[in-house]
Amino acid sequence: MYFTTTRLHQELAGGIFVDVIIDEAHDPLSQYPFKGDVDLDKLATLIKQVGPEQIAYISLAGTVNMAGGQPVSMANVRALRALCDHYGIRIFLDATRLVENAFFIKEREPGYAEHSIAAIVREFCSYTDGAWMSAKKDALVNIGGWLAVNDEQLADEARNLVVVYEGLHTYGGMAGRDMEALAVGIEESLQEDYIRARIGQVRYLGELLLDWGIPIVVPVGGHAIFLDARRFYPHLPQDLFPAQTLAAELYLDSGVRAMERGIASAGRDPKTGQHYYPKLELTRLAIPRRVYTQAHMDVVAESVKAVYDQRAHARGLRMVYEPRYLRFFQARFEPIADKNL
Ligand SMILES: *Cc1c(COP(=O)(O)O)cnc(C)c1O
């Protein structure tokens, strides 16, 4: 499944993004335990259609953010490796939330209950040719990230390019203190008690909302609760930005800041200029790590409930400013007045 900034860079580099995630990922009600899995049949069909030499790499992400923070199974990445080896295709991993992914493997995948989170992360990475990470997610730091590849020559090219865009390869644009914090953050993020508490807090919020009959993506993912705006506002067509409307209503109610993950985030097809109409129309409540208490989760849940109770009154939004790239970050919207209906 696409990720916003990742897909943009793939397209800016001349690539064509093709979604090869399993169908369950697009279904907010599917209870499948590994909704981040690659659909190997879809991938095999694509390889036959375009030829393996036309596929620059498999862009894998554990967990898959846009599907609701859903994990990829170890069995899937192992099978993906075998398929890609057969065709000589490389696999690159977005490891931004891989620790959360590892927690789900430990909890759900047969044979991994006794493995450490660190061992699971290591095995998972062993099936890939390289990885990158936005470290301000799982690695618990304010800023930064890294790129790692197995191939010496590729590493050399990347090391050379980093001086063009970021800074010398010894720091890659990061301050020394941030790199030190990152080293500590990577270690702490792998501690079992930490990751259990982290995912437990997200789950706590999800269970409150489920108890109140509020439509969310299940199973609850690693980093966020995703409200299902289609079921929340069944009277709003996707062109009226139901998920963005929900984010705005929440902010008005309590100041809680959510993120649209629906039609605004999906953007436009660069060829036709038309909106993409994603199946999922979600509002993401991403939970920062080590910031909030259980009581904060209660406040968030109560605000979602208050907005849900008023759902019939929502009228939707009109986009009045649309930036060219990644519009969801900076777009502006206006409420639709009753008379316009
Ligand atoms: C946040 C995120 C990014 C972007 O990282 P920045 O550090 O904000 O530039 C890329 N990929 C994934 C999966 C992310 O969650």
pLDDT in the model for residue 339 = 56
- Convert the pLDDT of each residue in 282-296 to its tens digit: 999 999 999 999 999
- The CATH number of 194-340, from 1.10.10.10, 3.40.50.300, 3.30.420.40, 3.90.1150.10, is 3.90.1150.10
Q: Give the nearest ligand 1 atom to 61 CA.
A: 13
Cβ 5 under 6 angstroms from ligand 1? yes
User: Is pLDDT above 90 for 242?
Assistant: yes
CATH of domain 4-134: 3.40.640.10
- Read off the pLDDT band of 270 (50, 70, 90): confident
User: Is pLDDT above 60 for 137?
Assistant: yes
Phi, psi of 334 (to 5 degrees): -130, 140
User: Is pLDDT above 70 for 340?
Assistant: no
- Read off the pLDDT band of 337 (50, 70, 90): confident
The helix/strand/coil state of 260 is strand
CB atoms within 10 A of CB 3: 18
User: Is pLDDT above 60 for 341?
Assistant: no
pTM here? Answer: 0.95
Choosing from 96, 136, 141, 178 the residue with most ligand 1 atoms within 8 A of its CB, the one to mutate for a pocket test is 96
Distance (Å, rounded) from C-alpha 43 to C-alpha 58?
Answer: 9
Q: For the residues 19-25, what does the mean pLDDT come to?
A: 98
- The two structure tokens encoding residue 319: 């986009």
Question: Which residues, other chains included, contact 264 with Cβ-Cβ below 8 Å and sequence gap of 6+?
Answer: 241, 243, 244, 319, 327, 328, 331
Cβ 328 under 6 angstroms from ligand 1? no
Cβ 134 under 6 angstroms from ligand 1? yes
Choosing from 9, 59, 137 the residue with most ligand 1 atoms within 8 A of its CB, the one to mutate for a pocket test is 137
List b or e across 172-205, with b for residues whose CB sees 16 or more CB atoms inside 10 angstroms.
bebeeebbebbeebbeebbeeebbeebbebbbbb
- Convert the pLDDT of each residue in 67-77 to its tens digit: 999 999 999 99
**Ranges of each domain in the chain:** 4-134, 194-340
pLDDT in the model for residue 338 = 67
**Residue 66 C-alpha to ligand 1 middle, in angstroms?**
12
